[in-house]
Amino acid sequence: MGAKRVWSTTGVVALTGALLLTSAPTASADYVRDQQWVLDAFKMDATWALTQGEGVTVAVVDSGVDGSQPDLTGQVLQGKDFTGGGSAKEDVFGHGTAMASIIAAHGHGAGNDSGMIGLAPKVKILPLRTYQKENDKNPDDVWSEAVRYAVDQGAKVINLSFGADGGKTSSEGREAIAYAQAHDVVVVAAAGNTGAVAVEEPAALPGIVSVGAVDEKANRWVGSNSGKGLTLMAPGVQVLAADPESSQGYSLSDGTSDATAFVSAAAALVRSKYPDLTAGQVINRLIKSASFLDHKELKAPDREYGYGILRPNKALTMDIPKGPKNGPLGQLPSNTESKTGSATEGTEDGSTQANEQDSSSRLPILLIIGGIAAVTVIGGIIFAVMRSRGNRGDGGPGSGGGTPPRGTGYPPQSSTGYQQYPSSASNQGYPTPQGQSPQHPNHYAQQPPYQGQ
């Protein structure tokens, strides 16, 4: 069964099962689109009038992407296989194809009315295969090579729907992420599916947009990891995606992999509409436009919801200052930055300025030292002549030290894994989706952000 899952670098770990579309024998066009509740929740008809992701390439580092999938034809670039086993446009397991469909599916048939549609249907997908089968490992030295390749091929967003399952990212992985960030690429990664109060790496690394999962009511999915370093939440429960292993071609499943793909697609939409923004400024728009929706009592960053729930339409339409080039999440230091550094913030060549300052201050220091030495010699002569007694004290500067501040831990989760919040009684902004009763409002209705900022 083709489920969409979060992977482990020590082995592929299946955490959720797919719910095949068994209630519809032929999976008609209307039926498939009706399962895509996210399209209504995100108000995508209005969003696509602004941009559909034209001109942006999203790299999917995964199990490959099936280039023959009807909803993805023409969208999948050649890519590269890093497993030594064939083509990146072959996907024998289906996870990468599922992620690509959430991002860039365009439907098929007359008027593209059949099949599913992704959040950014005009984005190009760069498939980078780093594992082939469910139980394959996805080691850091392999996916890091794929990340570097994505940067060199001009990808503006990199989707990493996998995690280290509690492990730490190797130096190769960290350097690859730093390379992407230094070259103006938005990197998005899954927070993890174990329900732990800890964001998995590489998602937890500085500058990466780490993503957790929420359901149709905008409540955190019980399996979604939480804790320090969580950036955004996005739909990850009963999400429809292409499934090459299903006879119907699609399946529904839960997981932060899916949520990650939605955020990657939203980042691509922002990059398409605002091509002058840096990667950090794109991330800034995603964060500043996010909202806690019904969870108004929360303040950002919250351990379970990060900076809030993704809102692609607001990320494109809100009046948000660009902010610093590196964005609110910062960056990992690149090799160049770590070697040269910047001695003075805000200067183009801090080391030069520091050298100039050092040179300009040497002369008076030398004069002072020379003066002190002269006084000492003269004083010694006087004392010798007068044979006076004096007390000498050996003193010196003490060595400074200090204890770094301790980190703040998080309390354990409740027995249910997440807290239920009261639902909003009104639908503020989104039209009621077809077949949805007014008694069941759209919990993703566009509301002002509640980030405590």
Catalytic residues: 62, 95, 257
5 closest CA partner among 142, 140, 136, 123: 136
Sign of CA dihedral 93, 96, 102, 108: negative
What DSSP designation does 207 have?
T
128 burial type by CB count under 10 A (0-12 exposed, 13-18 middle, 19+ buried): buried
Spatial contact of 191 and 228, defined as CB atoms under 8 Å apart: no
Q: How far apart are CA 172 and CA 187, in angstroms?
A: 16
CA pair distance 449, 453, nearest whole angstrom: 9
Separation CA 425–CA 428 (nearest Å): 9
Number of neighbours of residue 428 by Cβ within 10 angstroms: 12
Please give the single-letter amino acid code of residue 258. D
Euclidean distance between CA atoms 253 and 18, whole angstroms: 4
Structure token pair of residue 163: 């995690």
Nearest to 231 by CA among 209, 213, 215, 214: 209
Query: What is the Rg, in whole angstroms, of the alpha carbon atoms belonging to the chain?
Result: 28
Alpha-carbon distance values, 323 to 306, 348, 450 (Å):
19, 19, 19
CA distance 245 to 240: 14
